[in-house]
């Protein structure tokens, strides 16, 4: 699908209300995972084991046969059995039952879990032991000062303040640079990478002119760059494979009706599907990443602007969950 058609498709899905509310989808997700836990526990439980033993048993007397039938009827008429049977027949539920959690963070601690997250670009940590930013952007990334864990949220703040830090310039390499803005970044470059699966996060944001908030994935090179959700003046979703191949859908942020969404992708060998509150809003089947990627959450300043001191941009990540299919 061309970018033009992709833009129209994404805009229509947002405008026509096809995407459910965040509250409704989160409630649905909670119910699904409760059902998954019930199903897995029931499958290992005594009631199912008793039923299977009664079905297999060879009863030598009529009394034994009668008692077995009575007990089987009691089991199959119980509410837990009916729930189990209903879930077993649901194809939609079966897709969740196949998922195995590979990474998660609910940010319930007092600070960023450094066993999971780097607070600088992966290559800054690997090559330099310190952070850097990009020269084409207007902010410097601090060494975690713009990150806070509060009320079970990771908060990335973008503020208007003077700072000096390293900046990567494509022509001259790493240079020291003064900037009037600071922001933050976290990634799982050292702790977690995965090819294929479901990757999902609940995020909240507000619009600040000139500032973007993004959830993306990348590997050992700059591309492929997989934008799961990037919002600034526009909403951007898509896959970038270098400067000449940009399969992104881009629509006005004004089409977003809420300031909080559950965003993600389903990625397999044949396609990547972008999800907004569980609804597929974009697909691609061409030039998919052929290696594991890691998670990145970041904010930044993409044009010269002004951020009032009391209104620093806050990008909140409530939770992150990643799965692979069994």
77 and 140 belong to one structural domain: no
Do 238 and 185 share a structural domain?
Answer: yes
pLDDT value of position 309: 57
Question: Which regions of 47-172 does DSSP assign to beta strands (E)?
Answer: 99-105, 133-134, 139-141, 147-150, 153-169
Angle between helices 62-76 and 79-88 (to 10 degrees): 70
Beta strands in 189-312 (DSSP E): 197-204, 211-218, 225-231, 234-240, 246-252, 260-267, 272-276, 279-284, 294-301
> In sequence order, what DSSP letters do the residues of 153-199 get, joined into one string?
EEEEEEEEEEEEEEEEETTTEEEEEEEEEEE-EEE-TTT--BSSEEE
Whether 135 is covered by a domain: the verdict is yes
Same domain, yes or no, for 63 and 191?
no
* 311 in any annotated domain: yes
Both 152 and 270 in a single domain? yes
Four-residue CA torsion sign, 39, 45, 50, 52: positive
**32-44 residue pLDDT tens:** 999 999 999 999 9
Pairing of the two strands 294-301 and 279-284: unpaired
Same domain? For 106 and 92 the reply is: no
Q: Give the chain's mean pLDDT.
A: 93
Q: In whole angstroms, what is the distance from residue 48 CA to residue 202 CA?
A: 36
Query: Residue 4 above 80 pLDDT?
Result: no
d(CA 131, CA 124): 5
Measured CA to CA, the distance from residue 135 to residue 97 in angstroms comes to 45
Q: Percentage of the chain with pLDDT > 70?
A: 98
Whether 234 maps to a domain, the answer reads yes
**Same-domain status, 69 and 180:** no
CA dihedral for 238, 242, 246, 247, sign (positive or negative) = negative
Please report whether residue 13 resides in a domain.
no
Asked if residue 74 and residue 114 are part of one domain, the reply reads no
User: Of 97, 112, 136, which residue constitutes the final position of a domain?
Assistant: 97
Are 92 and 110 members of one domain? no
Q: Domain range spanning residue 251?
A: 102-325
Rounded Cα–Cα distance for residues 234 and 11 (Å): 11
Q: Do 178 and 79 fall into the same domain?
A: no
User: Do both 73 and 130 map to the same domain?
Assistant: no
Total domains, the chain:
2
pLDDT, tens only, 112-152: 999 999 999 999 999 999 999 999 999 999 999 999 999 99
Domain presence at residue 161:
yes
Q: How many residues does the chain have?
A: 326
CB atoms within 10 A of CB 56: 7
Tens of pLDDT along 271-297? 999 999 999 999 999 999 999 999 999
- 215 and 154, same domain (yes or no): yes
Q: pLDDT digits over 153-212, tens only?
A: 999 999 999 999 999 998 999 999 999 999 999 999 999 999 999 999 999 998 889 999
- What does the block give as tokens for 92? 């939609």
């Amino acid at each position: 699908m061309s970018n033009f058609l992709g833009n129209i498709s994404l805009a229509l899905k947002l405008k026509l209300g096809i995407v459910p509310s965040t509250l409704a989808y989160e409630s649905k997700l909670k119910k699904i995972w409760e059902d998954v836990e019930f199903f897995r526990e029931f499958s290992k439980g005594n009631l199912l084991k008793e039923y299977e033993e009664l079905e297999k048993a060879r009863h030598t007397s009529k009394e034994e046969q009668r008692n077995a039938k009575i007990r089987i009827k009691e089991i199959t008429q119980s509410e837990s059995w009916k729930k189990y049977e209903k879930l077993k027949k649901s194809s939609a539920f079966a897709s969740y039952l196949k998922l195995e959690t590979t990474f998660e963070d609910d940010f319930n601690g007092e600070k960023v879990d450094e066993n999971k997250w780097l607070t600088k670009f992966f290559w800054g940590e690997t090559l330099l032991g310190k952070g850097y930013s990009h020269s084409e952007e207007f902010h410097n990334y601090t060494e975690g000062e713009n990150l806070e864990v509060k009320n079970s949220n990771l908060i990335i703040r973008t503020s208007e303040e003077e700072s000096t830090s390293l900046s990567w310039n494509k022509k001259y390499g790493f240079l020291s640079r003064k900037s009037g803005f600071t922001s933050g970044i976290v990634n799982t470059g050292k702790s977690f990478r995965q090819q294929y699966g479901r990757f999902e996060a609940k995020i909240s944001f507000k619009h600040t002119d000139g500032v973007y908030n993004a959830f993306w994935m990348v590997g050992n090179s700059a591309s492929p760059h997989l934008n799961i959700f990037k919002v600034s003046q526009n909403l951007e979703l898509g896959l970038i494979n270098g400067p000449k191949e940009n399969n992104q859908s881009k629509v006005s942020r004004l089409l977003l009706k809420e300031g909080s969404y559950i965003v993600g992708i389903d990625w397999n060998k044949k396609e990547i599907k972008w999800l907004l509150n569980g609804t597929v809003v974009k697909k691609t089947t061409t030039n998919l990443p052929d290696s594991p990627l890691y998670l990145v959450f970041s904010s930044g300043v993409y044009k010269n602007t002004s951020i009032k001191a009391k209104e620093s941009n806050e990008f909140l990540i409530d939770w992150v969950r990643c799965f692979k299919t069994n």
